[in-house]
Amino acid sequence: MAALMAAVAAAASTAFATLHLTKPAIPLTRTTHRHLRTIIASSLSSTPSTTPEFNITFAPPKPKSEPKLKPKPASESESATETPGQDSASELDDQLYIPWIVRDESGNLTLQSTPPARLLHQMANAETKKKKKKKEKDSKAKPASPTAEPKFSKAARRFYNENFRDPPQRLSKVLAAAGVASRRNSEELIFGGKVTVNGSVCNTPQTRVDPVRDVIYVNGNRLPKKLPPKVYFALNKPKGYICSAGEKETKSVLSLFNDFMNSWDKRNPGLPKPRLFTVGRLDVATTGLLIVTNDGDFAQKLSHPSSKLSKEYIATIDGSVNKRHLITISEGTVVEGVQCAPDIVELLPPQPDLSRPRIRIVVHEGRNHEVRELVKNAGLEIHALKRIRIGGFRLPSDLGIGKHAELKQANLRALGWKS
């Protein structure tokens, strides 16, 4: 760049051209920093068909020994006679002068020393914008386009199916889980030849099937591939309700879930409705805690005697209770051919709002009518019987009669269910 500047300066000192302007020429000087100052002029002909020609010339170099002139204050007379757009050399000292070629109202090109008024107005009204930081640009980057889910290899899918996927289950169990009927009624449908698996009639309830892969029809209706999710409820059973799906003239505890079942499709679109059933049973006159679910394995574990889950009852007795009665109840009795003895027998303290005595009895066998048989064997008559606890889960005090509440994982663990 320095060599180029030196060559231009040498050429400018030896060659000069004559500049023809329609307006007086503006003298320009070269600064001590050897900046080039150029003047562009245009000579316009009177006819619009001719194109304007521009001649360029350079000012002679300024000697180094020449002192720098300071601008003198102009008098009022000089300022009045000074032509607008024409500046002195001192005013342009140390400053690069750039002329403006502007088209006037008549369409002719003219030379002026100040920018157009329109440009100055736009610059004054322009709004300055802060420079965006690189971090902001990175944060506002366009989101990546969604990519399709990766397709796993056959070996990976086979490994998943063999190790993590649910294994095939018995046909009767699959039908019961799908809500077709109870397991016993599902077996009757299978024996009756009303169930087909992959186009063939299946008469064996123990046949292992996979509802996702196998095509299962029951009475001409295909079984959905998606099984309903597992649900668990605690119900405060009222008196006069039976635990099985009763006939029209009897009231079933499952009818207390009609609102829940009617709103199932709205809350769980695309999923089949679960078939609810009770875990164990309470007779029609017994009230209190009852577990309702559609998980057959969970129900079997809780209701089977081998689980040895303790169940706590409060028996309200007609008449008086003495120590001999409590000893007889604690000794146990034979229920369904098996000797059953309670874990705890306790006479509760009287309360002012209750006139009848109450006995707290805890059993773990879970035999049918076990508590009633124990009290009957002691020569007492039960006025009311209520179950208040199963395992480590106690009936919530704020759960009204006939109401149900969904069980959480902590409640299921209290019932001994770890899955």
Asked whether residue 399 is assigned to any structural domain, the reply reads yes
Distance CA 18, CA 57 (A): 7
Same-domain check for residues 172 and 298: no
Q: Higher-confidence residue: 371 or 164?
A: 371
Which residue, among 257, 261, 258, 241, has the nearest Cα to 249 in the 3D structure? 241
pLDDT band at 418 (very low <50, low <70, confident <90, very high): confident
Q: pLDDT per residue over 281-306, tens digit each?
A: 899 999 999 999 988 878 888 887 77
Quote the tokens at residue 120: 């100055």
Alpha carbons 379 and 374: distance in angstroms, whole number: 9
Closest CA to 272 of 206, 218, 193: 218
248 found inside a domain: yes
**Overall domain count for the chain:** 3
d(CA 17, CA 369): 127
- pLDDT the model gives residue 162: 61
Looking at the fold, whether 258 and 399 belong to one and the same domain comes out as yes
Q: Are 83 and 208 contained in the same domain?
A: no
Most confident of 5-14, 124-133, 323-332: 323-332
Residue 158 lies in a domain: no
Residue that is last in its domain, among 84, 117, 150: 117
User: Cβ atoms within 10 A of the Cβ of 321, count?
Assistant: 19
- pLDDT category of residue 41 using cuts at 50, 70 and 90: very low
| CATH code for the domain of 174 | 3.10.290.10
Instruction: Say if 155 falls within a structural domain.
Output: no
Q: Is residue 292 located within the same domain as residue 408?
A: yes
Q: Are 264 and 392 in the same domain?
A: yes
pLDDT grade, residue 315 (50/70/90)? very high
**339-381 per-position pLDDT tens digit:** 889 999 999 998 888 899 999 999 987 788 899 999 999 999 9
Question: Are 33 and 56 found together in one domain?
Answer: yes
Same domain, 387 and 241: yes
178 shares a domain with 45: no
- Which of 50-64, 179-193, 198-212 shows the lowest mean pLDDT across its residues? 50-64
DSSP calls for 106-154:
TS-EEEESS--HHHHHHHHHPPP-PPPPHHHHHHTPPPPPP-PPPPPPH
CA distance 91 to 405: 92
- In this structure, is residue 149 part of a structural domain? no
Percent of the chain topping pLDDT 90: 32
pLDDT at 26 over 90: no
Residue 184 in any domain: the answer is yes
In terms of Cα–Cα distance, which of 315, 309, 316, 314 is closest to 393? 309
For residue 144, pLDDT beyond 80:
no
CATH label of the domain that carries residue 271: 3.30.2350.10
Q: Is residue 268 part of a domain?
A: yes
Q: Read off the tokens for 248.
A: 């029209």
The pLDDT of residue 379 is 93
Pair (191, 278) in one structural domain: no
pLDDT of residue 297: 79
Residue at a domain's end among 222, 240, 258: 222
How deeply is 310 buried, as exposed, middle or buried, from its count of CB atoms within 10 A (0-12, 13-18, 19+)? middle
Give the pLDDT band of residue 110 (cuts 50, 70, 90).
confident
What is the per-residue pLDDT across 42-83, written as a single tens digit (0 to 9) for each? 444 444 445 555 555 555 555 555 555 445 554 444 444 444
- The range of the structural domain enclosing residue 170 comes to 166-222
Give the model's confidence band at 116: pLDDT under 50 very low, under 70 low, under 90 confident, else very high. Answer: confident
179/72 same-domain check = no
First-to-last C-alpha distance (Å) of the chain: 82
> What are the backbone angles phi and psi of residue 305, rounded to the nearest 5°?
-60, -25
**Weakest mean pLDDT among 42-56, 209-223, 392-406:** 42-56
State which of 86, 117, 148 marks the end of a domain: 117
Same domain, 207 and 236: no
**CA distance linking residue 348 with residue 226, whole number of Å:** 50
Q: Where in the sequence numbering do the catalytic residues fall?
A: 283
In terms of pLDDT, which residue wins out, 388 or 133? 388
Kindly provide the b/e burial profile for residues 365-388, where b requires at least 16 CB atoms within 10 angstroms of the residue's own CB. Answer: bbbeebbbbbbeebebebebbbbb
Tell me the mean pLDDT in the region 187-209: 91
Which of 100-104, 327-331, 337-341 is modeled with the greatest confidence?
327-331
> Is 152 contained in some domain?
no
Residues 297 and 217 in one domain: no
